[in-house]
Amino acid sequence: MAESRQEVMTPTAARELFPGLRDKVFLDAACVSLLPVSAAEALDRLRDEMLSCPHRDASAHHIALDRTAQTAREQIACLLHTRPENIALVESTTHGLQIVASSVSLEEGDNILIGSTEFMGLAIPWIPKQHRQGFSIKVVPHREGRLSVDDFARVADSRTRMILLSSVQWNNGFRADLSAFSQFTEEKNIILVVDAIQQLGAIDLDVEKTPCDFLVAGGHKWLNAPVGRGLLYVHPKRRDTLEPAHWGYLNVVEPESGWAEYFATPDIPPVRDYDFTGAARRFETGGTANYPGNVALAASLQLINSIGIQRIEQHIFRLGDRLVDALTSAGVEMISPTEAAARSGIVTFTLGDGPERDKQLLNFLLDRRILLSQRYTAGVGGLRVSVHFFNNEDDILALVDGVRAALKGRQ
């Protein structure tokens, strides 16, 4: 497991690193989160380096830029309780899913399972392929917004090759029993692809304790890095057996002499038997990377790791408890699960009078600079609140007071 020595920080102290909170009540990290000052400063340093080229020559400058990727991989590995060699960097959740869809071969008659409440982006990389390759996508119905491994087991058959699962559902915050899905897919030799974008950075997820074949997440939500960078975890057994769909020169193992010396060698050929890396970065594009994304994601993750994901989780659940109790007391209907095992940082509620009435409440709150969203899939959803580590009780009180004021005005 990757280890990282971090300066310990509390959620209260970390809140000061988010100036975007000063003029609003921001409760929408599940949509796109705010950038912390530490990540903005990392971007400023990168900008200065790119403006000035502080190194001896441009070759050394280029190599230093490429190495920004490793810091991001190390911070991701720390968060996931795994090793950096199991981490590839991608541009987004969709990019990571596209890599999986391009690397895993499916045959005619095979099928993939996905829950009915999932975000459309989880399925789309496979939808255009199903008719050309002859496999099918089966949708497993939800039960009151919940996805159960037992329901997936009933739909699965001998030709089920893959399950696509969000660890936390985007519309109602339901957190799946990832351990049960992990055990089921391992027993049945089914590939488990986990979209963790609505969990990572908020709720602990240990890929060593609950193994999956692939795990993807963009950085722009709960990881607080909206600069076009995300992660792809690849289990070692898949890393060693699957062939990436594409290759680039940075997928090659760096020569012992280093790239600068290698490129200065007169007789290097373009075509030879290269030694390609066995690490998960073999699934990256292998070309010039998103350097701003690297440094922003690394800095945002360093902040999360310095607080500690268990401390973040406790903070989120404590505020979530306050929010659920206060909203229930105000007379709204809770859509999100409330039991600990199925909870997340998302709290979804409704007034119970239909989407249009909820939209009126949303606009009422937005007019008061209280930011949240309205989201649905398969008829499940409502007004979605994201409670993150940078939020505090004043944010919760402001939202509840806003809801009460809107309801009072309706009477």
Which CA distances in Å does 303 have to 18, 30, 39, 79, 314?
12, 18, 9, 11, 16
Phi, psi for residue 351 in degrees, rounded to 5:
-80, -15
Q: What is the CA radius of gyration of the chain?
A: 23
Report residue 41's pLDDT band, with 50, 70 and 90 as the boundaries.
very high
Q: What is the pLDDT of residues 272-299, one digit of tens each?
A: 999 999 999 999 999 999 999 999 999 9
Tokens found for residue 405: 């004021």
* 76: Cα separation from own chain's centroid: 11
- Asked whether 192 and 167 are in contact (CB, 8 A), the reply is no
Domains detected in the chain: 16-35+310-410 (3.90.1150.10), 42-305 (3.40.640.10)
CB-based burial, 252-261: b 16+ in 10 Å, e otherwise: beeeeeebee
**Containing H/E element for 399?**
helix 393-410
State the sign of the Cα–Cα–Cα–Cα dihedral 378, 383, 385, 386.
Answer: positive
H or E element in which residue 237 lies: helix 236-239
Backbone angles phi, psi at 228, to 5 degrees: 70, 45
Those residues with Cβ within 8 angstroms of residue 48's Cβ, 6 or more apart along the chain or in another chain:
none
Q: Which has the closest alpha carbon to 282: 242, 320, 312?
A: 242
User: Mean of the per-residue pLDDT values for the chain?
Assistant: 95
Contacts of 143 by beta carbon, 8 Å cutoff, 6+ apart: 151
CB 261 within 8 A of CB 75: no
Query: Residue 259: pLDDT above 90?
Result: no
- Using one digit for the tens of pLDDT, what is the confidence trace for 78-100? 999 999 999 999 999 999 999 99
**pTM higher than the cut 0.85:** yes
Residue type, 217: A
pLDDT tens string 119-163: 999 999 999 999 999 999 999 999 999 999 999 999 999 999 999
- 200 closest CA partner among 304, 59, 350: 304
